[in-house]
Chains A and B, each alone.
Chain A
Amino acid sequence: MPGITHYLTVSALLFFLGLAGFISRKNMFMIFLSVELMLNGINLSFVAFSRFFQALDGHVFAFFVIAIAAAEAGISLAMIILLYKNRQTIDVDRFNIMKG
Chain B
Amino acid sequence: MFTTIADLHQTTPISSQSSLLLSLIVLLPILGALILGSMALWSQPREQGLSEKMLGALGTLTPALSALLALYLFAQQLGQPGLQWTANLGTWIKVSLFELSFGFMMDPLSGLMTVMITCIGTLIHLFSISYMHGDRGFARYFACLNLFLGAMLLLILSDNIVGLFVGWEGVGVCSFLLIGFWFSDAQKAGAGTKAFVANRVGDFGFLLGILFLFLETSHFDFAGLQAGLAETPESRLAVIAFLLLIGALGKSAQIPLHVWLPDAMAGPTPVSALIHAATMVTAGVYMIARLHFIYSQTPSISLLIVLIGALTALMAASIALVQNDIKKVLAYSTVSQLGYMFMAVGAGAYVAGIFHVFTHAFFKAALFLGAGAIIHALHHEQDLMKMGGLRKKLPITHLSMLISCLAIAGIPPFAGFFSKDEILWSLWNEGLYLFWGMGLLTAGLTAFYMFRLYFLAFGSSYRGQAEISAEPLLMKLPLLVLGAGAVLSGFLGLPAVLGLPNWMEHWLSQVFGAHHVAGNMGLALMLMGVSVLVASAGILVALKKYARLQSAPAAATGPLANMLHQKYGFDLLYDAVLVRPLRRMGTLGWQIVERLMIDGAITFGLWAYKVAALMLRQLQTGSIRAYGHYLLLGLTALAYLYFTLHLPGVFRP
Contact = CB atoms under 8 A, between A and B. Distances in A.
A99 B621 contact: yes
A97 B628 contact: no
Contact of A31 (B620, B624, B629, B632): B624
A60 interface: no
B623 interface: yes
B256 to A, nearest CB: 68
Interface string A87-100: 00000110111111
Contact of A99 (B622, B625, B632): B622
A98 to B, nearest CB: 4
A19 B628 contact: yes
Contacts of B622: 95-100
B620 A98 contact: yes
Given A23-B628, A23-B629, A93 B623 contact: yes
A19 to B, nearest CB: 6
A92 B620 contact: no
Nearest to A93: B623
Contacts of B623: 92-93, 96, 99
Interface in A6-49: 19, 22-24, 26, 31
A92 B623 CA distance: 7
Contacts of A26: 625
A23 B624 CA distance: 8
A20 to B, nearest CB: 9
23 contacts: A19-B628, A19-B631, A22-B625, A22-B628, A23-B628, A23-B629, A26-B625, A31-B624, A92-B624, A93-B625, A95-B622, A95-B624, A96-B621, A96-B623, A97-B622, A98-B620, A99-B620, A99-B621, A99-B623, A100-B619, A100-B620, A100-B621, A100-B622
A99 B620 CA distance: 6
Interface string B613-646: 0000111111111001101100000000000000
Nearest to B635: A19
B625 A92 contact: yes
Given A96-B623, A98-B620, A99-B622, 14 more contacts: A19-B631, A22-B628, A23-B628, A92-B623, A92-B624, A95-B624, A96-B621, A97-B622, A99-B620, A99-B621, A100-B619, A100-B620, A100-B621, A100-B622
A22 B619 CA distance: 19
Nearest to B621: A99
A97 B625 CA distance: 14
A100 B628 contact: no
A23 B617 CA distance: 21
A6 B78 CA distance: 118
Contacts, number: 35
A34 B623 CA distance: 17
Interface of B: 617-625, 628-629, 631-632
A98 B626 CA distance: 12
Contacts of B618: 100
A19 B627 CA distance: 12
B308 to A, nearest CB: 75
Contacts of A31: 624
A98 B620 CA distance: 8
Q: Which 3 A-B pairs have the closest CB atoms?
A: A100-B620, A99-B622, A96-B622
Contacts of B621: 96, 99-100
Contacts of A100: 617-622
A59 B625 CA distance: 32
Contacts of B625: 22-24, 26, 92-93
Contacts of B624: 31, 92, 95
Nearest to B616: A100
Contacts of A23: 625, 628-629, 632
Contacts of A99: 620-623
A67 B180 CA distance: 78
A97 to B, nearest CB: 6
A26 B631 CA distance: 17
A77 B411 CA distance: 111
B528 to A, nearest CB: 97
- Most chain B beta-carbon contacts within 10 A, residue among A26, A93, A97: A93
A33 to B, nearest CB: 14
A23 B633 CA distance: 12
Interface in A45-100: 92-93, 95-100
B411 to A, nearest CB: 92
A4 to B, nearest CB: 18
Contacts of A96: 621-623
A95 B627 CA distance: 13
Nearest to A21: B628
B396 to A, nearest CB: 83
A100 B619 CA distance: 8
A99 to B, nearest CB: 3
A89 B590 CA distance: 62
Contact of A19 (B617, B619, B620, B632): B632
A95 B624 CA distance: 8
Nearest to A34: B628
Contacts of A93: 623, 625
A26 B621 CA distance: 15
A95 B621 CA distance: 10
A100 to B, nearest CB: 3
A47 to B, nearest CB: 22
A92 B621 CA distance: 12
A92 B618 CA distance: 19
Contacts of A92: 623-625
A28 B623 CA distance: 12
A99 B623 CA distance: 7
Nearest to A23: B628
Contacts of B617: 100
B584 to A, nearest CB: 49
A96 B621 CA distance: 7
A100 B612 CA distance: 13
A42 to B, nearest CB: 13
